[in-house]
Amino acid sequence: MIRYALTCDHAHEFEGWFGSSADYDDQQARGLLECPMCASKEVRKQIMAPAVAGTRKTVQDEAAPGAMQSMMMEAMSKVRAYVEENFDDVGDAFAREARAIHEGRSEQRGIYGQATPKEVRELVQDGVPVAPLPPEPPKKTEVN
């Protein structure tokens, strides 16, 4: 696995994990990369210093990942809540309805629902804009 520091054309910084450098290049070429904060498809790698074994971490370095994860979880939770409150849940008819909206056969509106991986690949290949809905946050009873 390789981790890249990424940025979008709106200067949002985030990271992505890829099986190899070629996997990143392939996903970038197919337009599968997008900013998790604004959904921009203009994503590029940032300059990164290599990780060197044996370097000392400061207390600030160790605290930053937890704070960043907490911030991202909160942002994803807000995105999910917004979608659930303002978009139409079309259930397992998502692929069919997304295609109908894209082709102008159904009214333009925000929708969410379920689709199989095959349906999602076909939508993406046909230029239908889709994005995964962030997962539901764990319930407090499920967290240690």
pLDDT confidence of residue 101 = 95
Reported as a pLDDT band with limits 50, 70 and 90, residue 39 is confident
Residue 98 and residue 81 in contact, taking contact as beta carbons nearer than 8 Å: no
79: left (phi over 0), alpha (psi -120 to 50) or beta: alpha
Query: Residues 67-121: pLDDT tens digits?
Result: 888 888 888 888 989 999 999 999 999 999 999 999 999 999 999 999 999 999 9
**pLDDT (tens digit, 9 = 90+) per residue, 5-18?**
899 898 888 888 88
- Show the tokens assigned to 118: 């095959």
Give this prediction's pTM: 0.52
Hey, CA dihedral for 17, 21, 61, 54, is it positive or negative?
A: positive
Delimit the domains of the chain by residue range. 1-46, 73-128
C-beta of residue 111 within 8 angstroms of C-beta of residue 94 = yes
